[in-house]
Amino acid sequence: MQPLVILAPMSGFTGSAFRRLARRLGADLTWTELISAQMILVKGLDDPLLHVTDAERPVRLQLHGSEPRAILEAAERVCREIAPDGLDLNAGCPARKVVRSGSGAALLTDLPRLFEMAKGLVEIARSHGMEASVKFRLGFERDEMERIAETLLRAGVKILALHPRLAREGFSGRARWSRVRDLKQMVGKDARVYLSGDVKSLEDFHRAAAETGADGVMIGRAALTRPWIFTEIKAGKTLELKTADRIALLEELHAYADHLDAEQRLKMLKLFAPKFLKGVPGRRKLLPHLLAAESVEEFFTRLRMLDETHRSQTDQSPEEDGQLSGPPHHGGGRLHLL
């Protein structure tokens, strides 16, 4: 059976709008970016990071923090008022700011504290009819995967999401998929295992599934430059999108961001445009003009100029490659990928 295709959590990117787009394009499950438990306790739940719609479900809400009490109080409030489809504890983020605060990958250096947090999260999730997961790395300075996994299993965690690199490695080198296979063999039927790391294409997905036996494959950075990778996996074929198609996806992303104000939506578009347009001729020349746009309307006007330039340079229609169904729909319409 094919593993779940999952949008991995990415700080600054996996907000509600992108989660909705990923689900529409074929992701089976989405994940929020890491959210500070302390922020929830201080500021409450009225924050764009905590906006969840039915269209992006099932969604797992990821918390990070250094104090068990804060994590558990925030989790209880989130379950009661937002009701995500699952809770996740971040024990793998290697960002300096996060590690210095004693959260993220820093938890891998204090297994008793990790156990306390994970056990409490499992109990809260269970009381609300959902499961808790933990996303973690092989270790901080050295590979201690078995010790960490054993700690999480004792805590009752039923979903283990492993990024098979050390925290100190960041995203350098290659993810060691063989360690995900080791984890899968270790836990047997006691827990489900998700792989995270270096899945960048349809071929990677199938190879990762075959080599590891993972129950789920998480796709992160590749989904930013190729959000239609979820469609490729479901369709079983590679798709190449033209400029007009990519613009349509940006318009769809904008339409999903109706919970943000105009300034926030423009900021979001400027964040995603360089990713979605990767590989498009003229991208480098256009980007400074896009990033200088002072309104959403100006942003899309400048973006469509790129499409018109490309169309004038070729006689081929957007549908000629036979990989897209229907023309690109400006103004927030959807692209229907086969």
CA distance 92 to 118: 13
Residue by residue, DSSP assigns 288-334 as HHHHT-SSHHHHHHHHHHHHHHHHHT----TTTTS-EES---TTTPP
**Catalytic residue (choose from 8, 34, 93, 209):** 93
Burial per residue of 155-186, b for 16 or more beta-carbon CB atoms within 10 angstroms, e otherwise: bbbbbbbbbbbbbebeeeeebbbebbbbbbeb
Mark out the alpha helices in 32-157 (DSSP H runs): 37-43, 68-81, 96-100, 111-127, 145-154
Q: What are phi and psi of 282, to 5 degrees?
A: 85, 0
79 labelled catalytic: no
Closest of 188, 142, 184 to residue 161, by C-alpha: 184
Annotated catalytic residues are 93
